Structure 1
Amino acid sequence: MAHLKKTAMTTIAIAASLSVVLAGCGNSTGGNGSSTGNATGNSTGTTTSGTPVDGGTLTMAMTTKYDDQLIPDMDSSLYTANVVQFAFDSLLSVDKDLNFGPGLVKSWDFSADKKSVTMHLQPNANWSDGQPITSDDVLFTMNYLGSKTYSTTLQGQYQYLVAPLVGSDKLLAGKADDFSKVGGFTKVDDKTFTLHFQTVDAAALYSSIAPIQPIPEHIYSKTPMKDWANASEDKMPTVVSGPYTFTKVNGQDSVEMAANPNYWNGKPHISNLVIKVVNENVLPGLLADGSVQYVPISMGLHLADADKLSKIPNLQVKTGPSNGWDFLGLKLYKPEFKDVKVRQAFEYALDKKTMIQGIEHGLAQPVSGPLPPVSWAAATAADGMNSYDYNVDKANQLLDQAGWKKGSDGMRIDPTTGKAADLHLAYSTGSAIDQEMGQAIQQAFQKVGVKVTIDPPLEWNTFNKKVESDDPSIQMWLMAWSLGTDPDPRGLWVSTDAMNLQRWKDPQNDSLIKDTYNAAAFDKTARKQALVKWQSYVNQQMPVVFLWAPDNIAAWNSKLNIPAKDFSAAAGGLNPQDWWLSK
C-alpha cells in the first residue's frame, strides 16, 4: 500500500484512491484496482477533441488545510500531497486504467535473480532551473527517506519506501547515511542506477520505489536535513520536477503556481494554478459562480451534493468507487480493546447499510477487511470473509463472553476497570459528516450497552498529529485511508510500521504479510492467494472497526478540458500539463 495518505473521515468518503498520485495531479502512481466511474450532469468539457489553447488560470479548491511542509513526504496527509504532486513527479506513473508506466524513470529491468532492478531516467528530465535530474538526485532522496534524521527529528512516515533496499537498517539506525556505501544503490551513469533489494520482493518496485518523488540534491544539500522542517525550501520549494512551480504560498490558505517551462513531459497549457482552502458550505456556490473551476476527488465535495451539482449549468460532476475505506480506530494496547471478541462485537453492532444510506446517500460499499472491493486482490465472501452483517444479538453475545456484563441500568461494565464503560471518540473538524458518523456510532454502541463520549472535534492537522504521536488523549478515532496502487500491506499493517496507528503487534500477521511478497508472489495468482489468506486473518482479528469504501466525487467547470485519457474515477485527473481552458 505504498504511499498511504490519511484523510479526515468526511473526505475519504469522497476521496480518491492514491498512493503515489493524488487526486488532481499527474505523472505519479494512483489508486489500486479498476473503475469506470459514472458521470452525471453536462457532457460538455468532460473530454476534449479540440485544439488545446495555452494560457489562463485554473482555480482549484479543497476544504481542509494542507500542512505547510511541501518537501515531498515531509507530511503524510492527502491535502498536502495534493499540492505537492503538481510540483514533484514520481519515479513511475499510473495511467487512467491504473497500470504502472514510465514517470521520471523511462524504463526498468530486473536482474535474473529478481534481487536488483536497473532504472533508466528520462534523458530529457530536468529540474525547473534547467539542471538535469540525475541518479545522484535519486540517491540523495533515498538517503533522505532512509535516514534516522527523517524518521526521528523530522518525524517522517515513509521510511518504508526504501526499507526493502540493502542497508536500510543501517541508515535507519544512524550507522550509515548513504545507500551507495552499504550496497543498496549503484550509480551506473548520470541517468542510470541499480537498486539492490535485501530479499526477492515481488512488491518492492511498485509498492515502495514507484511513488518516490526525487528532490534536487543541488538545492537541499545546502541545508542540514535536521533543519528542513523550518527551512524556506520546505515552506515553498524553488526548484521542482513537475508541471508547475511554486510562486506564492499563503500559509495554509492558498498556493499559487506557474507552468514549468522546463517540464520534461511538455510545458503545461494552463499558465497558472491557484489552490484555495475554502469552507465546505460555500464550495458548491463557488463552483456555481465560476470562482472555483475544479474540485478534485477527495478534496471536499460531498456525495450528497452530486445531484444538486449536476443541475448547475456548465458544471461537470463525476462519481465512482474509490480505493480507500473509512474506519473507527482503536488503540489496541489499551486493555479495553485487547479481547478480539470486543472488536468483533463492535463490528456487528454497526448497521453499515443504513448508515451508508443516511450518511453517504447510498454511494459506498461496506467493508470488513483491509482491501476495498476495487482492488484486484480483494478477498470476498467466497474466500471465507465474514461480512459482519448487522447483528445486535451477536454483538451482545460476544460482549457477554468477553466479560462486559450489563449493570442495572443496562449499560456495560468494563471488566478491565470494574467501572461503567465510557469510550471516548475523537474526530476532526471540516465536515458535518464526521459528526454524523460519530453520532451514528454512539447510538449503535448504546444499543449494546456501551457508552461512547464524543470529544470536541479537533482541527485536522492537530488531530492528525495526536493520532500519529499516540497521544494518550486519543482512545478511539475516525479516520480513513487512501490506498496505494499495489495491494502491498506494508506501510500500514506490519507491527513496526509508522502508520500502524492502532499499534497492532501480531507476529502471525507479520508472517502472513511476508508471504505476500516472497519469491512465489512474483506469480500473480500465488500472490493473490497469499493476500487473501492475510485478509482473512485481519478479518477475523479486527484490528480496526472497518466501515465502508465510499465513492469519489469530482466537479469542474466545462471551460476546463480534461482529456479522457487523463481522468479516472479512482485516480482523478492525471497529467495536468495536458489540460486546457477554453477561452
Structure 2
Amino acid sequence: MKKSFKKYVSLTTLAMTFASTLVGPTTQLVSAQEEGEDGVLEFDTLVQNEGEPIEGGTLNYALVSDSTFSGVLNNLLYTGRPDGEIINFFNPGLYGYDENFTIDNSGFADIEMDPENSQVTITIPEGHTWHDGEEITIDDVIFPYYVIGNPDYTGIRYGSDFQNVAGMEEYHNGDADEISGLERVDDYTLTVTYNTFNNSMLQAGGGVSNYIEPEHLLGEVPVAELEDSEYVRKNPVGFGPFKVESITPGEAVTLTAFDEYYDGRPNIDEMVIEVVNPSTIVSELKAGNYDIASLPADQYETYADATNFTPVGFLENAITYIGFKQGTWDEENGEVVPEPERVTSNKALRQAMAYAIDNNAIATQFYYGLRQNANSHITPNFTEYHNAEQEGYTFDPERSQQLLADAGFVDNDGDGFVEDPNGEPFTLGFASMSGGETAEPIAQYYIQSWQQVGINVELVDGQLMEFNSFYERIEADDPAIDVFQAAFGVGGDPNQSGLYGRSAPFNYTRWATEENDELLAAIESEESFDEEFRQQAFYDWQEYMIEEVPTIPTLFRYTLTAVNNRVSQWDTQIGSDLKWSDIYLLSEEPTAE
C-alpha cells in the first residue's frame, strides 16, 4: 500500500468509541473524528484494529460507482477513475512520492534528477519479474514512450509532458525512427533528456513518466489495436502486489497475491473488487459485505455512528472556488486579455464578495462538516507548500460593506443595491452547475449573501447549467457570465501556472498581472530547486492570490474511506509507507453490525 497505491485508494477520522463487547476485533483509537471550528469535522488518515491475524484470507473491496467500469485496464489507455483504481493494485507506477507528491526513491525505481543538463536517470532493480514470470528490464520503461508518441496511439496522454522529451515530436511526426532523448544505458538504466526542466519535474505527475509496461506482451500488438487487446481487456499483466485472476466485464475483478512482489508479498491471499452503487454502499458495509469502500459525503449521517467500520479520510488535492471573469482569451496569441474596465476587475468588489459568504456554514449545513473553508489556493495535502497560517476569507458582512463603500460602491438610488464607482447600476450574472440536491440551494445561498451586502447578483438564465454547457460557455467567455462557481483537481504538482498563468487556456477568469507573472516565474525558476526558496515562493504567491482574489477559494473537501474492523490497519495518507505485507485480516469474514 505504498505511495503509488495510495494515489487511488485514498486519490484525496472519525472519533468512534467501540464497546469492548463488540463481536470481532476492537478498534484502537488511532483514527479519531473531532469537531473543529464552526462544526467542521477533522479526520485522521489512519485506522488500526487490534486482534489475532488469520492466515491469508480474502479482502472484499467495493468499487463505489453508479455505473460499470470501462475495463480499459492499462495505465497508458484508461480514462475513467474506476479503471485506474483497479490498475493500481496490479500495475503501480515506477516511482514513489512523499506527502507533498514529491518524487522520492521509495518506489520500484530510483530517480536521479540532473536539472543542469535537463536530464533524469531512472534505475530499476535487477532480478524482478512480471506476473507471468518474464524479467523486468529497462525496455519496459522505454516502451511506453514509443506507444504514447506513436501517431496511431488512441489514448489521451500525448501532451506537453511527453512532447517535452527531446526528440519526441520528431518521432511523433514521422521525422525520426527513434526518440533521441531516450538513452538506454544498460538493461536496468535509462537517461531521459528534456527540452526544458523546471522544478515541476520533481513532482509526481509533473513531467517524469511513471509508466512501466510489459513490452514482451504489448509490443506484439499494433499500437492502434492495444486498447481492445486481450492484455488490456481480459488478461492484463503487471508487477504489483496482486495479479489479475479473472474479470467479469464492468462488474468485478478477482486478484491474488503476487509471491514475488518486490516490496514483500501481501499477507492477504486474495482480493475481490466489485462495483457497488453509491445508494446502497452504506447498507452493504453495515451488513458486513465489504472491507474497504469509499464513502459518499452526502450520506454521512447514515454512517456517522457505524460500529463495524471506521471512516478515515484526508483532504484531497482538489478545491472548489468562485471565479470572476475579468477578460477574454486571445486564441491567436495564446494568452488572456485583461479588461480592466469590467466591474469584476475591481479588487475591492471581489474582496467584498469573498467576505460576504460563510463557507463554514456551507460545509456544515450542506456537507455535514466534510468540507472546510479554504484559506489558500494551494491545497493542504501539499504540507510543505500550503501555508496553514495564512488568513483566508471568513464571513464578515460588515467588512464587506465597508470595502464597497471605501471603493466607491454606493447605493445612490435607494434600491438596496450599490452602483459602481462611476455611479452606474450593475447586475452580475452568476453561473453554477446542476448536479445533486445541494447544487441549487448553495447557488441561491451565495446569491442571497451577495445581495444582502448590496451587490445585485442573478443566476444566468435563471437556472443552473448542465456540466458540459457550463464549461463550453466559460471557455467561450460568454458575456452573460460575470461570476461562476467551479472546482478543479490539482494533481501531483502544486504549481498552478496551468490554471492562473497568462498563457494558460484553463485560466478561466482571464486575469493576469505582471506581479503574478513574476511570482509564478519564481516558483518555476532554477532557484526554486532549493527547498527553502521554493517554499517561500509558494507562500508569496498564496499571499498575493488572497490579496488579489481573482478567484475565491471556497472549500477543501474530505475523501472518506470505510475500513472494516477486521482489517488490521489502513492508511489513506498521501505518500504513506504502509506496506501490503503489514496488513492482515483479523477474522474470516468482515464484521457486521
With normalisation by structure 2, the TM-score equals 0.72
Match of 2:583 among 576, 579, 583: 579
Post-superposition offset of 1:139: 2.2
* Matching residue of 2:320: 326
Match of residue 40 from structure 1: 16
Residue 66 (structure 1) shift: 7.4
The partner residue of 2:140 within 137, 140, 143 is 137
Instruction: State the one-letter code of the partner of 1:556.
Output: V
Q: 1:72 aligns with which of 75, 87, 90?
A: 75
**Mean CA deviation greater in 476-485 or 466-475:** 466-475
Secondary structure at 2:48 match in 1: coil
Distance apart, 1:89 and its partner CA: 1.0
Structure 2 counterpart of 1:286: 284
Percent of pairs with identical residues: 19
Structure 2 contact 316–557 (Cα < 8 Å) conserved: yes
Question: 8 Å contact 1:270–1:577 — kept in the other structure?
Answer: no
Separation in 2, partners of 1:399, 1:128: 68
- Can you list the C-alpha shifts for 1:530-573, whole angstroms capped at 9, x where unaligned? 112222333344343311223343212112233xxx51445689
Deviation at 1:164?
5.2
Q: 1:532 maps to which residue?
A: 539
Residue 521 (structure 2) aligns with: 514
CA distance in 2, matches of 1:360, 1:85: 29
Contact 1:39 1:319 survives alignment (8 Å): no
Q: Which amino acid aligns with 2:142?
A: L
Q: 1:142 to 1:506 in 2, by over 3 A?
A: farther
Structure 1 letter corresponding to 2:307: P
Equivalent residue of 2:16, what SS? strand
Q: How far did residue 316 of structure 1 move?
A: 2.0
Measured against aligned partners, the alpha-carbon deviations of 1:451-508 in whole angstroms (never above 9, x if no partner) come to 125756758xx68996998797996765544545553335544455676566666675
Return the structure number with greater relative CO, CA threshold 8 A, min gap 6.
1
1:209 and 1:229 map into 2 onto residues whose CA distance is 24
Larger Cα-atom Rg: 2
Aligned-pair CA distance for 1:24: 1.9
> Does the CA-based 8 Å contact 1:491-1:499 persist in structure 2?
yes
Q: Which runs of 5+ in 1 are unaligned?
A: 1-17, 32-36
Rounded to whole Å, the distance in 1 between the matches of 2:355 and 2:4 is 30
User: CA, structure 1 residues 339+499, in 2 after alignment: closer, same or farther (shift >3 Å)?
Assistant: closer
| Structure 2 residue aligned with 1:300 | 296
RMSD: 4.7
* Residue ranges of structure 2 left out of the alignment (5+ in a row): 19-25, 28-46, 329-338, 589-593
Do residues 311 (structure 1) and 318 (structure 2) align?
A: no
Aligned equivalent of 1:166: 166
- Does the 8 Å contact 1:413/1:420 carry over to 2? no
Amino acid at match of 1:567: D
* Residue identity opposite 2:311 in structure 1: V
User: Partner residue of 2:240?
Assistant: 242
SS in 2 for 1:515: helix
Change (3 A) 1:217 1:348: farther
Q: Which amino acid aligns with 2:278?
A: N
- Aligned partner of 1:489 in structure 2 is 496
Cα deviations by residue, 1:404-453 (Å, 9 ceiling, x for unpaired): 999986578999x998544331144xx54445533433433443320125
Which deviates more, 549-558 or 537-546?
Answer: 537-546
Partner of residue 437 from structure 1, selected from 434, 442, 446: 442
Is the Cα–Cα contact under 8 Å of residues 99 and 382 in structure 2 kept in the other structure? no
Q: Partner of 2:192 in structure 1?
A: 195
SS at match of 2:556: strand
| 1:466–1:340 distance in 2 versus 1, CA, 3 Å | same
Which residues in structure 2 correspond to 1:365-514 (within 5 Å)? 365-378=372-385, 380=387, 387=393, 389-391=395-397, 394=400, 421-428=428-435, 431-447=436-452, 448-453=455-460, 455=463, 479-484=486-491, 487-489=494-496, 492-495=499-502, 509-514=516-521
In 2, Cα distance between equivalents of 1:402 and 1:154: 53
1:343/1:543 contact within 8 Å kept: yes
Q: Distance in 1 between matches of 2:418 and 2:227?
A: 46
Return the alpha-carbon distance in structure 1 between the equivalents of residues 471 and 76 of structure 2.
15
Is the CA contact 2:95–2:108 (under 8 Å) kept in the aligned structure 1?
yes
Counterpart of 1:271?
270
Give the distance between the partners of 2:227 and 2:396, measured in 1 at CA.
46
Structure 1 residues 498 and 423, CA gap change in structure 2 (3 angstroms): closer
Alpha-carbon separation, structure 2, partners of 1:405 and 1:231: 67
Residue 204 of structure 1 deviates from its aligned partner by 0.9
Map of 1:259 onto structure 2:
256
In structure 1, distance between residues paired with 2:232 and 2:503:
27
Distance 2:550 2:55 in 1: 51
Instruction: Decide which moves more: 510-519 or 489-498.
Output: 489-498
Amino acid at match of 1:272: M
2:264, 2:580 within 8 Å by CA — same for their partners in 1?
A: no
The alpha-carbon distance between structure 1 residues 188 and 221, as it changes in their structure 2 partners (threshold 3 A), is same
TM-score normalised to structure 1 length: 0.73
Q: Find the residue that maps to 2:131 and give its secondary structure.
A: coil
Corresponding residue of 2:31 = none
C-alpha distance 360-231 of structure 1, shift in aligned 2 (>3 A): same
1:258 and 1:50 map into 2 onto residues whose CA distance is 24
User: SS at the partner of 2:7?
Assistant: coil
Indicate if the aligned counterparts of 1:105 and 1:119 stay in contact, CA closer than 8 A.
no
Matching residue of 1:117: 120
1:24 aligns with 2:9: yes
Instruction: Please give the per-residue CA displacement for 1:149-173, whole angstroms capped at 9, x wherever unaligned.
Output: 76xx6444x734446543466568x
Say how many residue pairs are matched: 535
**Could you say which residue in structure 1 is the equivalent of 2:84?**
81
Partner of 2:551: 544
In structure 1, the residue matched to 2:111 is: 108
Q: Structure 1 pair 95/115, CA: closer, same or farther in 2 (3 Å)?
A: closer
Kindly provide the amino acid, as one letter, of the partner of residue 560 in structure 1. V
Distance 1:132 1:84 in 2: 20
Task: Describe how 1:146-165 pairs up with structure 2 within 5 A.
Answer: 154-156=155-157, 159-162=159-162, 165=165
User: Is the contact between residue 382 and residue 494 of structure 2 (CA under 8 Å) also seen in structure 1?
Assistant: yes
What amino acid is the match of 1:55?
G
Instruction: Compare 369-378 and 221-230 and name the one that shifted more.
Output: 221-230
Asked whether the 8 Å contact 1:243–1:577 carries over to 2, the reply is no
Match of residue 11 from structure 1: none
TM-superposed deviation, 1:528 = 0.9
Deviation of the 1:105 alpha carbon = 3.4
Please, which of 210, 213, 218 is the counterpart of residue 212 of structure 1? 210
Note if contact 1:321-1:569 (Cα within 8 Å) is conserved in structure 2. Answer: no
Code of the residue aligned with 1:348 in structure 2: it is: Y
Is 1:93 the counterpart of 2:74? The answer is no
Secondary structure at the aligned position of 2:89 is classed as coil
